[in-house]
Chains A and B, each alone.
Chain A
Amino acid sequence: MTILTALFTSLPALLATTSPAQDKAVAFVGGRVLPIASAPIEDGTLVVRAGKIEAIGARTAVAIPVDATVVDCKGKTLMPGLVDTHSHVGGGWGADESGPIQPGVRMLDSVNCRDSGFQRAQAGGITTINVMSGSGHLMAGQTIYLKNRDADTIDGLVYRFADGSPMGGMKMANGTNSQRDPPFPGTRGKSAALVREQFVAAQEYKRKLAAAGNDVEKRPARDLALEGLVEILDKKRVVHHHTHRHDDVLTVLRLAKEFDFRVVLHHVSEAWKVADEIVAAKIPCSLIVIDTPGGKLEAADFDASSAAELEKRGAPELVAFHTDDWITDSRLFLRSAALAVRAGCSRDTALAGLTKNPAAMLDLGDRVGTLERGKDADVIVLSGDPLSVYTRVEQTWVEGVKVFDLAVPDDRRYAEGGWGVGHPRVETVCCLGGGEDR
């Protein structure tokens, strides 16, 4: 009986999942809307349909479609779903202990899409996630950009390049984490030398590929590692580079210049010390905001003022934040931006640093990061100002589908914690999948 009831009640949910982009419109009415791309709208209307934003504007300027489901947002604040450029949700590891450089390894093949970390991220308003390997390798493999839908397979989450392949960058690191016993490097100089050696090999490989042209006989044997590196040289794949100390940051800038690759600096605890150089090179920074300096040598001079220092030099677009989940909690991602404001960053830059700027850093700026007509309907509904401690994420919508609702007990537990929440996602309806198994 229970099973029958479950089957019956979950059928609509099942059908909904098979076609997540809803054809019926949803209208968010009456809230304070922060489009990020433009000025706040005090009494706004946002209409979404088929997974995209159909209209946005003042309530008086936007007609609510007759078929629309209306979400009353009076007293609420709406903003784009948050974009986390650096997360470890999904419990996956990419590269293993066999060596410091493993560009052929893909996070795609490691992530557990049913890890409850994805639900906690939804509870924090995060709708796009760059999931990466750790920082114990100079090159830890290909990262994966995920849309934080409710999905039962990794394929249901991945963003894709124009050619259809899973979208992601390349995780690199320098500094102390990747210095270990052989075969890992023991010094900073050796770390850089090993990386240069690989990029030089990739240049040679690329040259041979080009020389062979369409002649399959002349092509060099396939090399998965070098293929990954060639994608960096071709600028298809962005390097996401763990780096903390001022001199390590400058080493990244030097290598990026030598091999002409695109890079986002990650963590950048000492960005405030080398902000002039970062801004001159126009290199984006995905900043971590931690509560206390230290915990390891390269974070000893962490300061939350890095965002403000980049902004002060006229480069607010270079500022993004990330959770580094579990280092900071996906459910508190808004807090990272707020603490940067505490340290002198403007509110506008801080909010762009959670949305528009990180979307651009993942080459997803045309799809997500702002509330604009034609973009993905990734929207969060907040109880108040995004930068207040008392504000809660009340709803998270991905492509026009509500994936988190604080008012629903099964969702709320991912926001608060509690029995079993740390386990992989709890399947309350066996075997059917769909929207009810969160």
Chain B
Amino acid sequence: MKFVTHVTLALLVSSSFSGLLAQDVAVRAQVVHTSEGAALRDAVVIVRGGKIAAVGPAASTPIPAGMRTLTAAVVTPGLVDAHCVIGLAGHLNQPQDQDQHDPTAPIQPELRAIDAYNARERLVEWVRGFGVTTIHTGHSPSALISGQTLIAKTRGDTVDDAVIVPRAMIAATLGADSRDEGKGKSPGTAGKQLALLREALVGAQDFQKKLANAGSDATKRPDRDLRKEALVDVLLQKVPLLITAQRHQDIESALRLQKEFGFKLVLDGAAEAYVVIDSIRAAVVPVIAHPPMARFWGDLENGSRETPLKLRDAGILFAFQSGFESYVPKTRVILYEAAVAAAHGLGADAALRAITIDAARILGVDSRLGSIAVGKDGDLALYDGDPFEYVTHCVATVIDGVVVFEGRR
């Protein structure tokens, strides 16, 4: 009786919070990878009111009577895709479902991902079926500054249901994908790219100075400018600048830019990181590495499946992304990507961390999710075997205690 009351309260609390009914659920598995330390054998995870209430050996972690209980061979934290375009770049790949890039200007930090994210896009449901519970998504690496990103859970019918960080980062890109080499187009070279970025950031510094000088005197404030306001927040370190750079010289340019303007930098892609690994380590910059199965052409022609191993050995914090694909497959699946890295020397434990707790750390949401620990969100992925094996299936996905997928994918 007492327990039932507790459940009811939890449901009421969570429904008023998110518009969804959070559930209490227990999961028992032969192996629980917590991303907090060694794996637990024959263990139980208990989620109450959408939060993890207990995790431990089955023998000492009783499941409350009547609580819905799922079983699986293996449980991991819900997977975190550290960078993708899911919800903006639709699966059909037709003009009407591609909202990841507006080509009208090279620098548009004012474009918000929350105004473009389609929570009902099929690819959201698709990756959820592989255990992906959190995605960092937004404007694609297709312009010098393509817009803002957000962090969402892969649940909900609206962006408001899904989003947990409405503005996560501002996405910038160096290299071929943000160059326009057409006659008279700009930026057409790496030098011009950096000149335009510096010009925009200098403009933001100037704007910031005018704001500061005006203080609370509204009459002295400069006119509002959405573009400059977004970049001022970069300068104030309120929001990191995510710079996609694959080639070593572009990586060095990103580090140089960061040194000049003092923003929080997250390196993205970094296919040639292994050439400039000392510079990255010295700058203490985290890396959201390209998908290990990315096609090694264009700026990625020198890419290597052993880069994650080298990042790990250098002590650089890194995570994996499903990235941006302009054709088939329209999105990659981080479970698959981490699996290939695991098999190419990284090892399963480090590969799993790179799509759970380390991804959460880079995204700044590790206090809330990314591992199975008491008090964190009840986000779990259940598998019928080693999650990385090709022939293993994801059998259930739990977000905030709600079973959002059950099946065999």
A387→B390 contact, CB < 8 A: yes
Give residues in A with beta carbon < 8 Å to B. 290-297, 299-300, 326-327, 329, 332, 335, 338-339, 341-342, 387-392, 415-423
B328→A290 contact, CB < 8 A: yes
Please name all residues of chain B whose beta carbon is closer than 8 Å to the beta carbon of A290 when the two chains form the complex.
Answer: 328-329
Please name all residues of chain A whose beta carbon is closer than 8 Å to the beta carbon of B336 when the two chains form the complex.
Answer: 291
| Cβ-based interface call for B122 (8 A) | yes
Contact of A417 among B296, B328, B342, B392 (CB under 8 A): B296
List 25 A-B residue pairs with CB atoms under 8 Å apart, sorted by A's residue number. A291-B331, A292-B91, A292-B123, A292-B329, A294-B123, A294-B329, A295-B93, A296-B328, A297-B93, A299-B328, A326-B295, A326-B297, A327-B327, A338-B391, A341-B391, A342-B391, A387-B390, A391-B343, A417-B302, A417-B305, A420-B302, A421-B301, A422-B297, A422-B302, A423-B301
Please name all residues of chain A whose beta carbon is closer than 8 Å to the beta carbon of B388 when the two chains form the complex.
Answer: 389-390
B333→A390 contact, CB < 8 A: no
Please name all residues of chain A whose beta carbon is closer than 8 Å to the beta carbon of B126 when the two chains form the complex.
Answer: 292-293
| Cβ-based interface call for B393 (8 A) | yes
| Cβ-based interface call for B332 (8 A) | yes
Q: How far in angstroms is the closest Cβ of chain B from A29?
A: 26
Q: How far in angstroms is the closest Cβ of chain A from B382?
A: 16
| Cβ-based interface call for B94 (8 A) | yes
* Complex Cα–Cα for A181 and B271 (A): 37
A335→B327 contact, CB < 8 A: no
Q: Which of B126-176 contact A (CB under 8 A)?
A: 126
* Complex Cα–Cα for A389 and B126 (A): 21
| Cβ-based interface call for B344 (8 A) | yes
B305→A389 contact, CB < 8 A: no
* Complex Cα–Cα for A416 and B122 (A): 32
Please name all residues of chain B whose beta carbon is closer than 8 Å to the beta carbon of A418 when the two chains form the complex.
Answer: 274, 302, 304, 306
Which 5 residue pairs across A and B have the least CB separation, nearest first? A422-B301, A294-B91, A295-B328, A338-B390, A292-B329
| Cβ-based interface call for B303 (8 A) | yes
A295→B390 contact, CB < 8 A: no
Count residues of B near A (Cβ-Cβ below 8 Å).
Answer: 41
* Complex Cα–Cα for A294 and B332 (A): 11
Given contacts A290-B328, A294-B92, 8 further A-B contacts (CB under 8 A): A292-B333, A293-B126, A297-B94, A300-B91, A332-B293, A342-B390, A342-B391, A418-B306
* Complex Cα–Cα for A342 and B275 (A): 37
* Complex Cα–Cα for A404 and B251 (A): 33
Q: Is the interface of B mostly helix, strand, loop or mixed?
A: loop
A291→B329 contact, CB < 8 A: yes
Which partner residue on chain A sits nearest B409 by CB separation? Answer: A342
| Cβ-based interface call for B340 (8 A) | yes
* Complex Cα–Cα for A295 and B289 (A): 22
| Cβ-based interface call for B177 (8 A) | no
| Cβ-based interface call for B330 (8 A) | yes
Please name all residues of chain B whose beta carbon is closer than 8 Å to the beta carbon of A296 when the two chains form the complex.
Answer: 92-93, 327-328
B325→A387 contact, CB < 8 A: no
* Complex Cα–Cα for A227 and B131 (A): 54
Please name all residues of chain B whose beta carbon is closer than 8 Å to the beta carbon of A327 when the two chains form the complex.
Answer: 327-328
Q: How far in angstroms is the closest Cβ of chain A from B299?
A: 10
Please name all residues of chain A whose beta carbon is closer than 8 Å to the beta carbon of B340 when the two chains form the complex.
Answer: 332, 389
Chain A CB within 10 A, most for which of B126, B329, B336 = B329
Please name all residues of chain A whose beta carbon is closer than 8 Å to the beta carbon of B329 when the two chains form the complex.
Answer: 290-292, 294-295
* Complex Cα–Cα for A339 and B390 (A): 6
Please name all residues of chain B whose beta carbon is closer than 8 Å to the beta carbon of A300 when the two chains form the complex.
Answer: 91-92
* Complex Cα–Cα for A31 and B291 (A): 34
Please name all residues of chain B whose beta carbon is closer than 8 Å to the beta carbon of A326 when the two chains form the complex.
Answer: 295, 297
| Cβ-based interface call for B389 (8 A) | yes
Please name all residues of chain B whose beta carbon is closer than 8 Å to the beta carbon of A338 when the two chains form the complex.
Answer: 390-391
- Asked, given contacts A341-B391, A419-B275, A422-B297, whether A294 binds B93 with beta carbons under 8 Å apart, the answer is yes
Please name all residues of chain A whose beta carbon is closer than 8 Å to the beta carbon of B344 when the two chains form the complex.
Answer: 416
* Complex Cα–Cα for A107 and B300 (A): 27
| Cβ-based interface call for B288 (8 A) | no
B389→A389 contact, CB < 8 A: yes
Please name all residues of chain B whose beta carbon is closer than 8 Å to the beta carbon of A294 when the two chains form the complex.
Answer: 90-93, 122-123, 328-330
Chain A CB within 10 A, most for which of B90, B126, B332, B390 = B390
Please name all residues of chain B whose beta carbon is closer than 8 Å to the beta carbon of A292 when the two chains form the complex.
Answer: 91, 123, 126, 329-333
Which partner residue on chain B sits nearest A339 by CB separation? Answer: B390
* Complex Cα–Cα for A342 and B93 (A): 26
Which partner residue on chain B sits nearest A388 by CB separation? Answer: B389
Chain B CB within 10 A, most for which of A326, A418, A420 = A418
Which partner residue on chain A sits nearest B295 by CB separation? Answer: A326
A341→B390 contact, CB < 8 A: yes
Please name all residues of chain B whose beta carbon is closer than 8 Å to the beta carbon of A391 when the two chains form the complex.
Answer: 343
Please name all residues of chain B whose beta carbon is closer than 8 Å to the beta carbon of A339 when the two chains form the complex.
Answer: 390
* Complex Cα–Cα for A98 and B123 (A): 37
* Complex Cα–Cα for A292 and B328 (A): 8
